[in-house]
Structure formats: structure tokens, C-alpha cells
């Protein structure tokens, strides 16, 4: 039986993936910062007729991560698939965003994943088998406007993961990046604050929220991401990057030059910006 540990399992993509993978016959351990956060996960799993084992794990704490890995290994014998899903949003243009915000976002989205990778790799190397799946974002490929701290964390995660894939290939360990576009999860409702200290970036913030408002009209669903996670872990033809969700494929496959990207940001009227965005990326954001 495949044993999987997934972080951020108390909500959104993590919760759906935990239940869906358990439904496929996997032994799934759902990590979360505190047990009381797992009530909804337990209720959904019960309705689905499956079991997801809750595990306490704060990905910002190396000791907590180590304890979670040790617990699952002792209970199940080994961890076959490590799914680093825990994440937070982060809006803001570079000028307005405090460095503390960058640090807080990186501590979860990048360092949190790295803590889990470092803790689980020794047992995978020893067995010469295992899979590590890092949940990134299409913002790890495109510098989404006015989301500077989030983009920074996901671009960094992509770079680390691409390097990791080469590093562990000799040990027969599979590595995959999942790059969702817009998916209907609670993170959207939680991620509405923007810093406005300078007062100089109203257009950037308008365009940020217009993009997400359009995507949320027909968003991807967590179940779609869960299916992609399963495929990335089990396919006979593995690859590094997988896209899903609204806008995922279009933005990942873009062929926009640096000059076109900078010129897009210089467009003054929002309507003209939306038209040009559609021309460049094949997405209607009006």
C-alpha cells in the first residue's frame, strides 16, 4: 500500500487530495498545525468512507516536521509519497510590501517544503524509491502582478525543485511540481489584503483582483488538482511540471518576450490591458 504524507491537509487542495488518495487505496496521513483544524477533514473522510490519519505538523518548525516524519514512519513503516502542499498567499507590489511579509511567506511556501524534503529524503535514499511532490502555482512561472511575496516564494520553490529533481535522480526518487492556475479554495477569501503605503499602484491592485475575479467565475476544483497529484505520482512516463486549474495551461505555455511583458505593465487603461493580456496569453480577463 502506498503511504503518503500531505501537508496543509485541513483545507482546500490538501484536504481534497487526502480524501481522494485515501479513496484510491492509499494510506494517507494529513498534516496540520493543530488537531482541532482537522474536524472538517475527518467529517469529509467519514462521508467518503475512507480514513485519513491526522498528524500534527507546523512546517515553519523543523522539530515539528521531524516529529511528524518520525511518527508516520513508525506507524506505517515508510513514507512513499511526500506532498508539500501547505502554503499561504501574499499580495503586494515590491515597493509597498514589508520585508517581514516576504520572510513570513517564504517560511511557509519555500522553507516549509524544504524542511519536509530534508526530513524525508534520508529514508527514500536508503530505499532507493520515493516521490516528492511540491505544490507550486502558475505564479511560479508568471510574475503575477501585485503578488510580489507570493511570486518570490513560488519562483524559489520551482528553482529548488528543478535542482532537487536532478540531485535525487540517481537515487530513483521521483520529483514533480504541480502548478495550479486559479482553483476554488479558501486561500482566495483569505488573501484580499494589499499594502497601499505609497499610493502609487492602484492600477496594479485593480488588475490583480480583476484577474482573480474572472478566474473564479469558472475556477478549477480541488478534485482536479488531486487527480493531477495522483497521476504525477503514478504515471509510467513521469515529468517535472504539471499544470491544472483555470488559466494554468495557457499561462504555462506562454511565449511572451521580456519586452512584451514590460510593455503590458505600461498600458494605462484597464480595458486595453485586458485586451492585450488576452492577445498574449489566450485568456479572457474582461
**pLDDT tens digit string along 131-169?**
999 999 999 999 999 999 999 999 999 999 999 999 999
- Whether 11 shows a pLDDT value over 80: the answer reads yes
Per DSSP (E only), the strands in 17-98 are: 27-32, 52-56, 81-84
- Whether 189 shows a pLDDT value over 60: the answer reads no
CA-to-CA separations, 31 to 9, 34, 250, in angstroms, rounded? 6, 9, 32
* Range(s) of the domain holding residue 8: 3-190+220-253
Per residue in 26-51, pLDDT (tens digit) is 999 999 998 788 899 999 999 999 99
Q: Cell for 40?
A: 472538517
* Residue 74: strand, helix, or coil: helix
Residue for grid cell 507590489: 93
Name residue 241's beta-bridge partners.
Answer: 177
pLDDT for res 196: 77
Identify the band that residue 188 occupies on the pLDDT scale cut at 50, 70 and 90: low
pLDDT for res 93: 97
As annotated, the active-site residues are 150
Q: At what angle do helices 99-109 and 148-168 cross, to 10 degrees?
A: 40
Sign of CA dihedral 177, 180, 181, 186: negative
* Domain assignment present for 182: yes
DSSP state for residue 198 in the 8-state scheme = S
How many other β-carbons are positioned within 10 Å of the β-carbon of residue 176?
25
* Domain assignment present for 25: yes
Residue 178: exposed, middle, or buried by beta-carbon count in 10 A (0-12, 13-18, 19+)? buried
pLDDT for res 146: 96
* Domain assignment present for 270: no
In the predicted model, what is the mean pLDDT of residues 170-197? 84
Residue for grid cell 505564479: 139
Per residue in 64-78, pLDDT (tens digit) is 999 999 999 999 999
Q: For the domain that residue 54 is a member of, what is the CATH number?
A: 3.40.50.720
C-alpha–C-alpha distance, residues 272 and 280, integer Å: 12
* Domain assignment present for 211: no
pTM of the model: 0.95
* Domain assignment present for 40: yes
Q: How many structural domains does the chain have? A: 1
- Whether 190 shows a pLDDT value over 80: the answer reads no
Range of lowest pLDDT (74-88, 181-195, 261-275): 181-195
* Domain assignment present for 272: no
* Domain assignment present for 197: no
Kindly compute the dihedral angle of the four CA atoms of residues 28, 34, 35, 36, in this order, to the nearest 10 degrees: -130
- Whether 235 shows a pLDDT value over 90: the answer reads yes
C-alpha–C-alpha distance, residues 252 and 239, integer Å: 15
Identify the band that residue 191 occupies on the pLDDT scale cut at 50, 70 and 90: low
pLDDT for res 15: 97
* Domain assignment present for 266: no
In the predicted model, what is the mean pLDDT of residues 120-133? 98
Apex CA 194: angle with CA 116 and CA 155, to 5°?
35
pLDDT for res 23: 98
C-alpha–C-alpha distance, residues 106 and 87, integer Å: 9
Report the percent of the chain where pLDDT is more than 90. Answer: 92
Amino acid at each position: 500500500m502506498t503511504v503518503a504524507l500531505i501537508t496543509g491537509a485541513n483545507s482546500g487542495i490538501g484536504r481534497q487530495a487526502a480524501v481522494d488518495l485515501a479513496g484510491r487505496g492509499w494510506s494517507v496521513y494529513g498534516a496540520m498545525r493543530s488537531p482541532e483544524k482537522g474536524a472538517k477533514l475527518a467529517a469529509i473522510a467519514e462521508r467518503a468512507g475512507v480514513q485519513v490519519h491526522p498528524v500534527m505538523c507546523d512546517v515553519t518548525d523543523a522539530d515539528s516536521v521531524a516529529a511528524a516524519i518520525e511518527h508516520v514512519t513508525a506507524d506505517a513503516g515508510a513514507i512513499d509519497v511526500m506532498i508539500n502542499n501547505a502554503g499561504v498567499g501574499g499580495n503586494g507590489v515590491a515597493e509597498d510590501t514589508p520585508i517581514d511579509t516576504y520572510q513570513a511567506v517564504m517560511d511557509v511556501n519555500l522553507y516549509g517544503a524544504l524542511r519536509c524534503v530534508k526530513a524525508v529524503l534520508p529514508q527514500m535514499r536508503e530505499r532507493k524509491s520515493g516521490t516528492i511532490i511540491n505544490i507550486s502555482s502558475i505564479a511560479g512561472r508568471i510574475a503575477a502582478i501585485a503578488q510580489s511575496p507570493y511570486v518570490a516564494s513560488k519562483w524559489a520553490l520551482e528553482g529548488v525543485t528543478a535542482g532537487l529533481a536532478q540531485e535525487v535522480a540517481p537515487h530513483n526518487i521521483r520529483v514533480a511540481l504541480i502548478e495550479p492556475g486559479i482553483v476554488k479554495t479558501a486561500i482566495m477569501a483569505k488573501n484580499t489584503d494589499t499594502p497601499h503605503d505609497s499610493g502609487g499602484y492602484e492600477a496594479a491592485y485593480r488588475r490583480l483582483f480583476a484577474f482573480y475575479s474572472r478566474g473564479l467565475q469558472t475556477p478549477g476544483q480541488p478534485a482536479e488538482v488531486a487527480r493531477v497529484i495522483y497521476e504525477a505520482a503514478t504515471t509510467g512516463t513521469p515529468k517535472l511540471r504539471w499544470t491544472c486549474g483555470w488559466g494554468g495551461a495557457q499561462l504555462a505555455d506562454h511565449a511572451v518576450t521580456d519586452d512584451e511583458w514590460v510593455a503590458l505593465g505600461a498600458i494605462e487603461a484597464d480595458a486595453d490591458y485586458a485586451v492585450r493580456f488576452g492577445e498574449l496569453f489566450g485568456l479572457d480577463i474582461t
